[in-house]
Amino acid sequence: MVAAARRITVLTGAGISTGAGIPDFRGPDGVWTRDPEAQRLSDIDSYLADPEVRRAAWRGRARHPAWEAEPGPAHHALTELANSGRLRALLTQNIDELHQRAGLDPELVLELHGSMFGTVCLDCSERGTMRAALNRVAAGEEDPPCRSCGGILKSATVSFGQALDPEVVRAGQRAAMDCDLFLAVGTSLTVHPAAGFAELAVRAGADLIVCNAEPTPYDDQAAAVLRGDLDETLPRLLSVPTVPNSRP
């Protein structure tokens, strides 16, 4: 399937970055598996209502492992797939920018849940960099307000209770419906609408391959399921030589 595919759409999740030292949420060592309270505090209502939640969020961003992380073999394998011209789009639920850091053309990346390296004002929508906000936190502003309107500032990521960017969702839907192979990589496929892209692709006639250490709700719709560590399975899977013109 990989050898024959001409337009491959990939959806990645936190599992592709655990090898780089960024824990996932729901895996055995996941942030929420170890501390279920963390999930409750990650919705937008608690962020808006409670300054202590915001202060904790900024502290968490400052020590987030993504600042130090380097892309791993699985990220690089996807960049090579793009270099072969067969990557239709890469949809990611990750906020760590490791795909871009691995050299993937930013035009091919759809960040469904945003990026932790940006900030946005929840009142006037002004954008900024996380670095600038964290400099203000380090200088003593524990919960820095928006410089333009005084509103509540937040990392430019999608929390529970927040809508995804509708343009990004539409572009993701197009990429899911316009591929001959859909790879779901390192995701528990439990967060919607991200997980729904796999189903959309299957309904539009694509083959689905699930590459994940643990079972997902979409395994029975998959043409193939690959367990095991992505830093080993994905480079092997994607190094298969292309079959010329085996599909219309």
* Binding stretches for ligand NAD (CB under 6 A): 13-15, 17-19, 22, 24-27, 30, 93-96, 113, 186-188, 190-191, 212-214, 229-230
Q: Is 149 in the site for Zn ion (CB under 5 A)?
A: yes
Residue 187 interface partner, choices ligand NAD, Zn ion, none, CB cut-off 5-8 Å depending on type = ligand NAD
Close Cβ partners of 122 (under 8 Å, ≥ 6 residues apart)? 48, 151, 152, 153, 154
CB nearer to Zn ion: give 77 or 156: 156
In terms of C-beta distances under 8 Å and separation of at least 24 residues, what long-range contacts does 237-244 make, across chains too? 237/2, 237/77, 237/209, 237/211, 238/2, 238/77, 238/78, 238/80, 238/81, 239/77, 240/2, 240/3, 241/3, 242/3, 242/84, 242/86, 243/3, 243/4
Please report whether residue 145 would count as binding Zn ion according to CB under 5 A.
no
Give the shortest CB-41-to-Zn ion separation in angstroms.
23
CA 132 to chain centroid, in Å, comes to 23
When CB distances are held under 5 to 8 angstroms depending on the partner's kind, the choice from ligand NAD, Zn ion, none that residue 124 binds is Zn ion
Question: Looking at beta carbons only, is 103 or 151 nearer to Zn ion?
Answer: 151
User: Are the C-beta atoms of residues 171 and 91 closer than 8 Å to each other?
Assistant: no
Nearer Cβ to ligand NAD (61/113): 113
**Active site residue: 64, 99, 113, 192, which one?**
113
146 among the known binding-site residues?
A: yes
DSSP 145: B
- Structure tokens, 110: 């759809």
Q: Which stretch binds Zn ion (CB under 5 A): 31-39, 60-68, 146-154, 192-200?
A: 146-154
113 is catalytic: yes
Q: Binding residue per annotation — 179?
A: no
124 is in an annotated binding site: yes
- Token pair for residue 4? 């024959």
Nearer to Zn ion, 138 or 149 (CB): 149
Beta strands in 5-77 (DSSP E): 8-12
245: left (phi over 0), alpha (psi -120 to 50) or beta: left
Alpha-carbon span 191 to 74, nearest angstrom: 22
Pick what 72 binds: Zn ion, ligand NAD, none; C-beta below 5 to 8 Å, kind-dependent: none
Q: How many residues does the chain have?
A: 248
146 touches, from Zn ion, ligand NAD, none (C-beta below 5 to 8 Å by class): Zn ion
Choose the binding region for Zn ion from 30-38, 79-87, 138-146, 187-195 (rule: CB under 5 A): 138-146
The residues binding Zn ion (CB under 5 A) are 121, 123-124, 126, 146, 148-149, 151
Kindly list the catalytic residues. 113
